[in-house]
Amino acid sequence: MAFPPIHPALARALESRDYRDPTPVQMKVAEAASADRDLLVSAQTGSGKTVAYGIAMGETLLTGRDTLPEAGAPLGLVIAPTRELAMQVSSELIWLFAEAGARIVTCVGGMDARTEQRALARGAHLVVGTPGRLRDHLERGNLRSQDLQVAVLDEADEMLNLGFREDLEFILEATPAERRTLLFSATLPKPIVALTKRYQTNALRIEVATQASSHSDIEYRAIRVAPTEIEHAVVNLLRQAESPTAIVFCNTREQVRHLHTGLLDRGFGAVSLSGELGQAERNQALQALRDGRSRVCVATDVAARGIDLPNLGLVIHAELPNDAETLQHRSGRTGRAGRKGVSVLLVPLSRRRKADRLLTDAKIRPVWGAPPSADEIRALDRERLMTDPLFTEEAGDDDLATAGALTERFSPMEIASAFARLYRQKLPAPEDIYDPGPGRDDKSGRKSAAEPRQRRDGEREEGGGNRHAMGPAVWFHLDIGRRNNADPKWLLPLLCRRGKVTRDDIGAIRIFDKETKVEIRADAAERFASAAQGSDDDITVTRLEGGAPPAGRDRDGGGKAGRPPRAQKAFVRRGDGDAPRQGPKKFKGKGAGKPRRPE
C-alpha cells in the first residue's frame, strides 16, 4: 500500500526516509476526500499522526507552488500539550518540509523566550509550541497570526486534561476565522466535541486504529511481585530483555529519583525524566538514549506522550497507572511504526483488582507470570556469551600472539573461566527474587499462594520448623503489622534473606495490629540479630526481651482458635500510610511521602 498522490516536495521527503507504507491514519488524511477540509481525527498514540497532519498542512500551504514563499508571519501552527511532544513534532516536520524550504520555529516552556522572540522576528513558515508559551508570544506581539492558513491541535484531549482550555480558546480566537483546523485526539470526550463545534466548520470525522489493532504490535505481560521487590523485578526484567532502549514508568518524581539511583548503582546506563527537570536536562537525557550512551529511561508520565525513541523495545510500569488511557499512552512508546514491543505491568497482590480493571478497560489480555529469576538470567547470559560476535570475528596478528601466550601459560579451562568472568563483570548482577504466586482472582482457579491453609496438629509449618519441636528460641520484634498489610507470604523470605537464616531457623510469626513478633532458633539468633541490623527496606528488627509474646495472629493467618483466618493483604511499606486499602504504594526507602487517597 503506497501513499496516494501528494505534493512532490513532501513525496520526495518521504522517499528519502524510505517511508513507503503509510499507516491507516496517514492514508485516510492523505486521501483526496480530506483535502481542504477541517479534520477531526481519532487515532491512538504511535499511529503516525505527525506525518499525517504534516501531509494535510502541506496540501494547504503548498497549493499551486513548488516551495514555500519567503518566511514571514507563520502560515501554519501546531499546538501540543507537552514540551517533549512539541520538540518531537518539530523535528518530524523539519525533515518532512525540508524539500519545501520550510523555516520552523519551536516555542515551548522552559526554553529562552527571548531566543524564540528573535526567531519569530526573522520569520517562520510553521510554528510548533505549547499552549502557555504560544499565548504568551501572542499577547506580547511576538507571534503574528494574521496570515495563518492552518492550525493543528495535537493530543487535544491531553491539553484539556492538563487545563489548557482557556489558552487554546485564546489562541484560536486570535487566528483568522477562515483558517483550516485539524484536531487530532486519542479520545473524543464531550469537551473535545464542544471545542470542535465552536472552532471547526463542516469537519470531516476520521476514526482509525481500533482498540484491538492499537495493541497488535505490543506484547502485554503482567508480572506478580512482592511489593518489597519491585526494584529487583525491574532489574531482572531489564537484564532479561536486553532491549537497546527501555522506559520504566513511576508515578512520582521521588520514585523516579529513587529507582534511577538504584539502577545507576547497579551499573545500568540510565537517565531520568520528570517535571522537575529543565528543558535542557530533558533534551540531554533523550539525546543520551538516542545515541546509545544510556539504555534505560526512568520517567513519570511526562514521558508517556510525545517521546519517540528508536529501538525502544520494552516499557515497564513499575507502578500501575491511574487509568486505562495512561496505560495505553505509556505502552504506546513501544510497538511504533510496525516495530514490535513489550509492555510489562508489575502487580503486587494487593493491586491485582486494580490491574484487572485497568486491563479490562483498555481491552488488553496480558500473559500473567512470575518475575524472571536470577538463575534464568544467568542461563540467558551463558547463551548470549556463546553467540557473542567476538567468536566469529577474524583475529588479528596481535590477537593471535596474545592467544598463543595465554595457551602456553594457562589451561583452556582457566582461559575460558577468566573470559567468562570478564564478560559477567560488565553486566549488572541479577537479583534473587521471590514469586508471591497467583492471587485470589487468578483466572486459572488455583488457590492463592497467599491464602492460608488449615494446619493439622503437629504438622510442620510452611517454611519453618515444627514450632513445638524447634527447641530453645529467641523472639524478635518487627515494627510493622496488619495495618501495614504484613503477610507471612513475603515476611518469611524477607527474614531469611535479611537475617541470613534458613526457613528451618524460623518458628512462629505472630502478626498484631501494629507490630510482628518472630521466633528464631536460639543457635541462629545471634547471626540473625547481627545480619538484620540496617537495611534499605525500612523495617526495624529488634530482640524481644521477656520471653514469648501472647498468642495472636500466627504465620498461617489465623486468629483465635475456631475463628476463620483473616483475608491476606500484600505488604505496604512503612511511611506510605497505614490504611490497607489506599492507592498505589511507594517502593522507595526511608522518608516516604504522604499516603494517597483511596481508589
Do 123 and 220 sit in the same domain of this protein? no
Of 22-31, 121-130, 567-576, the range with the lowest mean pLDDT is 567-576
How many domains is the chain built from?
Answer: 4
Do 160 and 274 sit in the same domain of this protein? no
455, part of any domain: no
What is the pLDDT, as a whole number, of residue 34? 62
What is the pLDDT, as a whole number, of residue 343? 95
388-412: average pLDDT: 87
Count CB neighbours of 205 within 10 A.
10
Residue with cell 520484634: 477
521-538: average pLDDT: 79
What is the pLDDT, as a whole number, of residue 484? 77
- Strands 341-348, 270-273: pairing is unpaired
Q: What is the C-alpha separation between 595 and 451, in angstroms, rounded?
A: 27
pLDDT-based confidence at residue 483 (cuts at 50, 70, 90): confident
What is the pLDDT, as a whole number, of residue 438? 66
* 330 contacts 594 by C-beta, under 8 angstroms: no
Contacts with 551 (C-beta within 8 Å, 6 or more apart), sequence order? 510, 560
Over the range 33-48, which residues count as b (16 or more CB within 10 Å of their CB) and which as e? Answer: ebeebbbbbbbbbbbb
Of 178-187, 203-212, 242-251, the range with the lowest mean pLDDT is 203-212
577, part of any domain: no
Residue 343 — φ and ψ, nearest 5°? -120, 125
Of 261-270, 360-369, 564-573, the range with the lowest mean pLDDT is 564-573
438, part of any domain: no
Q: What is the C-alpha separation between 450 and 437, in angstroms, rounded?
A: 7
What is the pLDDT, as a whole number, of residue 54? 93
pLDDT-based confidence at residue 1 (cuts at 50, 70, 90): low
Helices 190-199 and 165-173 cross at an angle (nearest 10°) of: 10
Residue 186, judged by CB atoms within 10 A of its CB (0-12, 13-18, 19+), counts as: buried
Mean pLDDT is highest, among 445-454, 468-477, 514-523, for: 514-523
454, part of any domain: no
18, part of any domain: yes
Residue 562, judged by CB atoms within 10 A of its CB (0-12, 13-18, 19+), counts as: exposed
Do 365 and 388 sit in the same domain of this protein? no
328, part of any domain: yes
Mean pLDDT is highest, among 10-24, 169-183, 562-576, for: 169-183
597, part of any domain: no
Do 235 and 182 sit in the same domain of this protein? no
Q: Domain containing 411: what range? A: 376-392+403-425
What is the pLDDT, as a whole number, of residue 311? 82
297-315: average pLDDT: 82
Q: Give 24 or 347, the one with higher predicted confidence.
A: 347
Q: What is the C-alpha separation between 527 and 530, in angstroms, rounded?
A: 5
Do 201 and 237 sit in the same domain of this protein? no
Do 383 and 342 sit in the same domain of this protein? no
Quick one: cell of 194?
A: 464542544
Decide if pLDDT at 583 tops 70.
no
pTM given for the model? 0.58
Decide if pLDDT at 597 tops 60.
no
Q: What is the C-alpha separation between 216 and 591, in angstroms, rounded?
A: 41
Quick one: cell of 413?
A: 579451562
Do 296 and 314 sit in the same domain of this protein? yes
| pLDDT mean across residues, the chain | 80
Do 197 and 54 sit in the same domain of this protein? yes
What is the pLDDT, as a whole number, of residue 46? 63
412, part of any domain: yes
Decide if pLDDT at 381 tops 80.
yes
Do 341 and 238 sit in the same domain of this protein? yes
What is the pLDDT, as a whole number, of residue 117? 95
* 41 contacts 29 by C-beta, under 8 angstroms: yes
Do 353 and 287 sit in the same domain of this protein? yes
Do 199 and 240 sit in the same domain of this protein? no
Of 57-71, 140-154, 179-193, 466-480, the range with the lowest mean pLDDT is 466-480
Do 362 and 421 sit in the same domain of this protein? no
pLDDT in tens, 534-577: 655 568 888 887 666 665 444 444 333 333 334 333 333 333 33
Decide if pLDDT at 468 tops 90.
no
126 residue type, one letter: L
CATH of the domain at 241: 3.40.50.300
